[in-house]
Amino acid sequence: EVQLVESGGGLVQPGGSLRLSCAASGFTFSKYWMSWVRQVPGRGLEWVVNIKQDGSDTYYVDSVKGRFTISRDNAKNSLYLQMNSLRVEDTAVYYCAREVGWRAFDIWGQGTMVSVSS
Amino acid sequence: QSVLTQPPSVSEAPRQRVTISCSGSSSNIGNNAVNWYQQLPGKAPKLLIYYDDILTSGVSDRFSGSRSGTSASLAISGLQSEDEADYYCTAWDDSLDAVLFGGGTKLTVL
């Protein structure tokens, strides 16, 4: 079964750090661009960042540039999101997603909740 | 405020047809493919349409997509209660080097 499973979410204080993980299974992880997408509960979706198959290229939404870092380990079929200098406005459910075609996300994880609060 | 503009809500009766619009600009919809997602309450989004008008495998052919100029639309025919959900359009933006989501449209089947 093709599957993405996120982990690592939790409650953190403003200015703190958190590392999210996404475990992929059921497909050849190394062949796909991967993305992180977030959603504030009750609000819309926001794309955050993506990474090329070999990790050589990444794109970030402006609001997280310099604070978040995406990475991947193809040997472990895993995607990561290192989040530093967290802000209250980063509070959201974070999804990892597989990209197909032109920036279409065909497989999504169940999401992991990140809460930034003092 | 999203750069891709969708109506916040639409509603229509069962068995009828509804369209959801997505308006952008030359740097996104005007130059790149549009994708559409359905999100049921409490669930992860589901890809419905990609490359403007290609139906994802397993998705009902009651769903269709189109793009013209700087706008795109999602049409749902033969509305059913199970279609009640939030719908989002996306497109890559060449100026921002980012994937943009529309603000989302909540569909109510009356």
Of A37, A103, A108, the CB nearest to B92: A103
Query: Quick check: B97 contacting A, CB < 8 Å?
Result: yes
Of B35, B44, B88, the CB nearest to A95: B44
In this predicted model, what pLDDT tens digit does every residue of B37-82 receive, in sequence order?
999 999 999 999 999 999 999 999 999 999 999 999 999 999 999 9
Residue A29: strand, helix, or coil: helix
Query: Quick check: B90 contacting A, CB < 8 Å?
Result: yes
How do beta strands B98-101 and A112-116 pair?
Answer: unpaired
How do beta strands A18-25 and A3-7 pair?
Answer: antiparallel
Which residues on chain B are in Cβ contact (under 8 Å) with A47?
Answer: 90, 98-101
In this predicted model, what pLDDT tens digit does every residue of A17-74 receive, in sequence order?
999 999 999 999 999 999 999 999 999 999 999 999 999 999 999 999 999 999 999 9
Average pLDDT over chain B reads 96
